[in-house]
């Protein structure tokens, strides 16, 4: 099937940068913009979308492509973008802008359609932005007299956007919201403790949104193949938001460690030492990956295992890296809404069974001295080294 010079009205994508990028210093902003362009190109190539050029101008990035609408659907997941518009390029001559505007909107018009024209202009021209809006508005009313079009500057059915940059103009009718944040790769790598639940992928996603590439780590408690497939699907969904960056998942067998803890530790110490052991092992992966922090999906709750005092006791197992808990201030509904945005809700319908209920004795917070004494008897260092020898790294 031939695709010779198909007359799609759109040949450009206008990309508006995340709001926080614009307030950075000039040097930092250029660095972020260069990284964003790299991520944009990687995403387009990953989805086999042809493009002629990706270039930046003041406050904008432009993509020249015959697949503008398809590009927008994929680029909404690129962090660092606030919104996008498929657009049609013209010269900055008033008559060219007008003709292009009429051509672009005529297929969207119905009887009684309301519209507005908005213009943003950079450069020196023989007209003002207000002149553009008034002229196009008048020509719209003259070109389609039988439709009874109405001008509505407050809540129009169609908004015609015009961006004029020196000798070029770009006309568009749709603005699609993206994910904002910082481009992935502008901040250091982090290790994310992934579980087959809602919280951990959302916590990792929020950290990625701040520009951090992710290395997920899954502690397998029963080596269940179905659960491992579920974890891989969650990681795959996360990696869709960081195309162009590594997609490695560490699977760490943790079943024997749990058996040992339950056999050798007082019951009320098992959960604390288990978490401290997980952190200590994850810290070794963090060192190997040259990451800067560990991210967990833990939240502050009234439950004994989810209090600040419990977190403080667990965190003391760390030697060199901080633990971040991005979900501490979110409600359950807010977490669920973000999980739907990441598109992992379908996979989570097969969420595995939760752990056993907390026994009354476990609600008592042990002292650090008590925990460390129990760990000395266990020879935690040997458990860590033995576990690290069995780690599996897979590419998603």
> Is residue 83 within 8 Å of residue 163, measured between CB atoms?
no
Q: Cβ of 48: how many Cβ atoms within 10 Å?
A: 8
Helices (H), ranges, the chain: 26-46, 68-75, 94-105, 129-143, 199-209, 225-239, 255-264, 267-288, 308-315, 332-342, 368-378, 380-388
Find tokens 């530790």 and name the residue: 265
Q: Return the sign of the alpha-carbon dihedral for residues 148, 150, 156, 161.
A: positive
8: pLDDT confidence band, cut at 50, 70 and 90?
A: low
Which CATH code, of 3.40.47.10, 3.40.50.620, 2.40.160.10, 3.30.450.20, is assigned to 190-395?
3.40.50.620
CA neighbours within 13 Å on the CB side: how many for 216?
32
Q: Output phi, psi for 48, to 5 deg.
A: 55, 40
pLDDT mean over 342-367 = 58
pLDDT band at 258 (very low <50, low <70, confident <90, very high): very high
Give exposure, 299-310, as e/b (b: 16+ Cβ within 10 Å): beeeebbeeeeb
Residue percentage of the chain with pLDDT more than 90: 78
Residue 287: pLDDT over 60: yes
> Does the pLDDT of residue 176 top 50, yes or no?
yes
As annotated, the residues of the chain forming the CATH 3.30.2130.30 domain(s) are: 12-180
CATH (one of 3.40.50.150, 3.30.2130.30, 2.102.10.10, 3.40.50.9100) for 12-180: 3.30.2130.30
* Helical packing angle, 267-288 and 368-378, nearest 10°: 70
- Structure token pair of residue 108: 């969207």
What phi, psi does 20 have (nearest 5°)?
-70, -25
| Rounded Cα–Cα distance for residues 272 and 311 (Å) | 9
The pTM of this model reads 0.89
At 277, is the pLDDT very low, low, confident or very high (cuts 50, 70, 90)? very high
Q: How far apart are CA 22 and CA 301, in angstroms?
A: 36
pLDDT classification of 305: cutoffs 50, 70, 90: low
Q: Where in the chain is the domain with CATH 3.40.50.620?
A: 190-395
What average pLDDT does this structure show over 56-73? 94
In the predicted structure, residue 393 carries a pLDDT above the cut 90: yes
Could you report the per-residue pLDDT of 138-169, keeping only the tens digit for each? 999 999 999 999 999 999 999 999 999 999 99
């Amino acid at each position: 099937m031939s695709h010779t010079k198909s007359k799609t009205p759109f040949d450009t994508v206008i990309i508006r940068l995340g709001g926080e990028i614009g307030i950075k210093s000039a040097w930092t902003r250029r660095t972020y913009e260069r990284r964003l362009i790299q991520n944009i190109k990687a995403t387009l190539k990953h989805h086999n979308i042809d493009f002629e050029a990706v270039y930046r101008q003041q406050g904008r990035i432009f993509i020249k492509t015959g697949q503008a609408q398809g590009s927008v659907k994929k680029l909404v997941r690129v962090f660092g973008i606030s919104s996008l518009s498929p657009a049609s390029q013209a010269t900055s001559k008033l008559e060219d802008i007008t003709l292009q505007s009429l051509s672009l909107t005529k297929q969207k018009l119905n009887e009684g359609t309301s519209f507005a024209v908005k213009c943003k202009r950079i450069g020196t021209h023989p007209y003002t932005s207000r002149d553009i809006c008034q002229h196009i508005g008048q020509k719209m009313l003259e070109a389609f007299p039988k439709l009874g079009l109405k001008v509505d500057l407050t809540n129009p059915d169609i908004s015609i956007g015009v961006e004029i940059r020196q000798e070029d103009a770009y006309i568009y009718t749709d603005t699609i919201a993206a994910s904002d944040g910082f481009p992935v790769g502008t901040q250091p790598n982090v290790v994310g403790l992934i579980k087959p639940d809602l919280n951990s992928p959302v916590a990792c996603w929020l950290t990625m949104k701040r520009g951090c590439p992710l290395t997920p780590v899954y502690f397998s408690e029963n080596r269940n193949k179905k659960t491992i497939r579920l974890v891989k699907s969650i990681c795959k969904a996360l990696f869709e938001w960081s195309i162009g960056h590594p997609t490695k998942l560490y699977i760490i067998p943790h079943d024997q460690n749990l058996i040992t803890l339950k056999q050798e530790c007082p019951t009320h110490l098992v959960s604390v030492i288990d978490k401290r052991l997980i952190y200590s092992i994850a810290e070794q992966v963090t060192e190997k990956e040259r990451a800067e922090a560990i991210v967990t999906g833990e939240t502050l709750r009234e439950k004994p295992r989810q209090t600040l005092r419990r977190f403080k006791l667990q965190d003391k197992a760390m030697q060199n890296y901080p633990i971040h808990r991005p979900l501490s201030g979110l409600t359950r509904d807010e977490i669920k809404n973000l999980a739907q945005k990441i598109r992992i809700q379908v996979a989570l319908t097969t969420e595995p069974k939760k752990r056993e209920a907390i026994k009354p004795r476990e609600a008592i917070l042990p002292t650090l001295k008590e925990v460390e004494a129990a760990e000395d008897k266990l020879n935690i260092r040997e458990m860590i080294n033995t576990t690290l020898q069995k780690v599996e790294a897979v590419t998603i």
